[in-house]
Amino acid sequence: MRQNLVRQQLESRVSQVDYSAQADKYEYVSGQHGGYYRHNFVDHAYLYNLYFPPEAIITALKERIHDLVQSYPVAQVSIAELVGRVIDQPAERIVVGNGAAELIKIVSGHIADKLIVPVPSFNEYANAAPTGQVVEFPLEFPSFQLDGDKFAAEAIRVGADVAVVVTPNNPTSMLIPKAELIRLARKLDSSGIVLVVDESFVDFAEDPDLASLEQEVAAYPNVAIIKSMSKAYGICGLRIGYVVTTHMRFAEALRNGLHIWNVNGFAEEFLRILPHYKQEFTDSCVHVRTDRDGLYEALCGIEGMTVFKPDANFVFCRLPNDVQSGLEITKRMFIEHNLYIKDCVGKTQPDSDRYIRIASRTGPENRRLVEALVDVMDGRDGET
């Protein structure tokens, strides 16, 4: 009884933030990069798989908690073997990071002399690069489709040694067809350019096996696949990401940027357990796709909204011209409905303040989200 009371007091102490108003809560939360579960709102901003891991995995971690807390985890060679069992790849091709963000930091900040990335995209690739060493290539507007021929030509023209594409892209949620990726890889290979393909959301595509290059990486020696397991497997707090490539010099450069125990014991134990739950993971992704498709259809029913057909677990939208900006809509959604979505003001794209990104959650939560969005847009006092 006393232990439970102490635990409750500790939880209250570490989670409590005083807000005089919901607007203050919004200002605090919008300046954070996580820990949202402590603040009692519905998160349609960060991108989770809500249907994985199953409770059995959580229970298994709880049962080993003393060993995991008190023991050193394994180092890179062993952790790469564990990921290899999950993705059916030899360990020598794999580099494992403390989340994909750690690997992105090394690629952009230390390996690439000049990196090119289509925009809008995941900002970290550009943010992690030193000043003057990144080229942002605008996607076709307003479709946000990648023209692989133009992208390859620009990469060669600017002297890039690393090119990055995210598929499905973030924030657009659009997949680049595999045939286009292969053509791009071949064009870049002839100029000695490494193509980094970020497939962090590919498991939510309609047919992941047909969309992914991961199992064909040996056929394209200049390709490196990067993936955030945190997003796909619903384990953002465990921080696991990996690169798989047959470009051994690139892989070794990544390893040289890591410290010996970069992945913690809880992540290691999760990887040991994960191969026993492959079917559960597949089923979870089907569930995510079902909810996402329902959200997409409901958003398409909002008058004046441009909704891009999603391949990931989130939906990219352009707001009607006669409503407030994405930033204002995001703020009102939080203050009036305690729902947090993502505005795209920080993205490199035309009219960025007119766009929002909405993470799909459960069916009932998605329906409530759409109702709230319609409610805050009813004033219609944006552009004319």
Per-residue model confidence as pLDDT tens digits over 207-221: 999 999 999 999 999
- 208 and 162 within one domain: yes
Average of pLDDT values for 99-105? Answer: 97
Domain end among 275, 304, 334:
275
Which pLDDT value is given to residue 380?
Answer: 62
Domain co-membership, 248 together with 232: yes
pLDDT single digits (tens) 332-368: 999 999 999 999 999 999 999 999 999 999 999 999 9
SS3 of the chain: the string is CHHHHHHHHHHHHHHCCCCCCHHHHHHHHCCCCCCHHHHCCEECCCCCCCCCCCHHHHHHHHHCHHHHHHCCCCCHHHHHHHHHHHHCCCHHHEEEECCHHHHHHHHHHHHCCCEEEEECCCCHHHHCCCCCCEEEEECCCCCCCCCHHHHHHHHHHHCCCEEEEECCCCCCCCCCCHHHHHHHHHHHHCCCCEEEEECCCHHHCCCHHHHCCHHHHHHCCCEEEEEEHHHHCCCCCCCCEEEEECCHHHHHHHHHCCCCCCCCHHHHHHHHHHHHHHHHHHHHHHHHHHHHHHHHHHHHCCCCCEECCCCCCEEEEECCCCCCCHHHHHHHHHHHHCEECEECCCCCCCCHHHEEEEECCCHHHHHHHHHHHHHHHCCCCCCC
10 has a pLDDT exceeding 60? no
Q: Is the pLDDT of residue 322 over 50?
A: yes
**For 10-14, 106-110, 141-145, 339-343, which range has the lowest pLDDT when averaged over its residues?**
10-14
Q: How far is CA 117 from CA 31, 126, 154, 202, 236, in A?
A: 26, 8, 10, 18, 24
23-34 pLDDT, tens digit per residue, is 999 999 999 999
Crossing angle of helices 326-337/22-29, nearest 10°? 130
pLDDT at 14 over 50: no
| Structural domain contains residue 11 | no
- Does residue 5 fall inside a structural domain? no
Q: What is the pLDDT of residue 382?
A: 58
Number of domains in the chain: 2
Is 9 part of a structural domain of the chain? Answer: no
Give the pLDDT mean for 173-193. Answer: 97
User: Residue 40: pLDDT above 60?
Assistant: yes
pLDDT for 6 equals 43
Does 156 lie in the same domain as 62? yes
Q: Which residue has the tokens 């996580």?
A: 34
Are 195 and 263 within one domain? yes
Residues 138 and 265 occupy one common structural domain = yes
Question: Which amino acid is residue 193, in one-letter code?
Answer: I
Q: Token pair for residue 375? A: 């409610």
Mean pLDDT, the chain, as a whole number?
94
In a domain, 328, yes or no: yes
Are residues 127 and 260 located together in one domain of the fold? Answer: yes
Q: Is residue 157 located within the same domain as residue 186?
A: yes
| Contact in structure between 233 and 274 (CB atoms under 8 Å) | yes
pLDDT at 18: 73
Each residue of 110-141: pLDDT tens digit?
Answer: 999 999 999 999 999 999 999 999 999 999 99
Q: Does residue 12 fall inside a structural domain? A: no
CATH number of the domain at 293, please.
3.90.1150.10
Question: Looking at the structure, do residues 202 and 339 belong to the same domain, yes or no?
Answer: no
Give strand pairing partners of 162. 115, 194
At 4 the pLDDT is 52
pLDDT band at residue 16 under the 50/70/90 scheme: low
Tell whether 303 is covered by a domain. Answer: yes
| Pair (335, 355) in one structural domain | yes
67 and 203 fall within a common domain: yes
371 in a domain, yes or no?
A: yes
- Residues 135 and 250 placed together within one structural domain of the fold: yes
Task: Answer yes or no: is pLDDT of 313 > 50.
Answer: yes
In a domain, 3, yes or no: no
The whole-number average pLDDT for the span 70-81 is 97
- Domain stop point among 250, 275, 300: 275
33 and 107 part of one domain: no
Q: Domain residues for 319? A: 18-54+279-377
* Residues 68-92, mean pLDDT to the nearest whole number: 97
Q: Which of 256, 275, 294 is the last residue of a domain?
A: 275
CATH of the domain at 138: 3.40.640.10
